Amino acid sequence: MEAIKFRLSGKTGFFKKPDVNINTYFTYNNIHKIALLGMLGAIIGLEGHNQQSRKIKGGLMDKALEYPEFYDRLKNLKVSIIPGGDRGHFTKKVQVFNNGVGYANRDKDNHPCNLVVYEQWLENPCWTIYILKDDSIESQLMNKLQKYLLNGECVYIPYLGKNDHPALIEECELVELDVAENITHIDSLFIYDTVEIGDDPYKDYEDVFMFKEMSPTSLKEEYNFYEFSELCFTNLEVSNINASGMFYKNKDDILAFY
């Protein structure tokens, strides 16, 4: 099976968690699938949430446009993500700045005010991304995505979460993957429910680590709310694979696609 492989990085990144009810906005530790699909859609010129909102406000939204275009056309894409941070973690720091747009500097009574924003940013995030070249999306769309990634082209500038965080895409290549058999470990993020984990690291000399995070993996059709899966990154050995998993091998790396 052929796949597109590239390195994704940036100086900073911010993938906002929607379930925060305090004055600080927190980020997911890793780029999640919806954000990755949005970035890939931007590269090849697919419309996003902003264009969808304009169509809803203009009364043009119908059943065929319930998802933003990027998600509607790329949602079945199978991806694998290998975090480049220390044991799956990236350093995070809260940044404080003023929101200078006019509508944000008014209170509920329309009096002038100063909106102070607190955001938790990832520092020097990086991932190795694999995109499986199967029949999950239209062949014409896959060919366009491959062409743009390999040639360093884009319609819209790719970002890591928002336009404060430009994304760097490099080392893009086509690789041939083999179906993984007799899996003893997984080198990428994987959906925790698809795997049974043992108690020992698969390399005897390593200290055990396990990183888990509830991460968006799909959008609910009504209202486009996130639907979550528990993602895991660990060096613990794999004791069993459930039938729902999709695993491939690139050299010595075992990759989980979802």
pLDDT of residue 64: 43
Give residues with Cβ within 8 angstroms of 115, minimum separation 6.
98, 99, 104, 105
Q: Which residue has the tokens 């406000």?
A: 57
Locate tokens 């329309």: which residue? 110
Mean pLDDT of 210-237: 93
DSSP 72: H
Q: Count the domains in the chain.
A: 1
Q: Which ranges of 30-153 does DSSP label H, i.e. alpha helix?
A: 33-43, 49-57, 69-74, 139-151
Among 27-31, 48-52, 128-132, 239-243, the range scoring the smallest mean pLDDT is 48-52
- For 108-131, write each residue's pLDDT tens digit: 666 666 778 899 999 999 999 999
Under 8 Å between Cβ of 31 and 81: yes
pLDDT tens for each residue of 177-222? 999 988 999 999 999 999 999 999 988 878 899 999 999 999 998 7
- Give the residue with greater pLDDT, 174 vs 104: 174
Confidence of residue 105 (pLDDT cuts 50, 70, 90): low
pLDDT at 104: 54
pLDDT tens, position by position, 8-30: 999 999 999 998 777 899 999 99
As a whole number, mean pLDDT of residues 37-53 equals 85
Sign of CA dihedral 24, 29, 30, 32: negative
Q: What is the pLDDT of residue 23?
A: 81
pLDDT value at residue 189? 97
pLDDT at residue 140 above 50?
yes
Q: CA 225 to CA 213: how far, in whole Å?
A: 18
Report how far residue 72's alpha carbon sits from residue 249's, in angstroms, rounded to the nearest whole number.
28
Q: In the prediction, which pLDDT does 116 show? A: 83
Q: What is the mean pLDDT of residues 92-96?
A: 95
Q: Which domain holds residue 103?
A: 2-256
CATH number at residue 94: 3.30.70.2660
Distance CA 89, CA 87 (A): 6
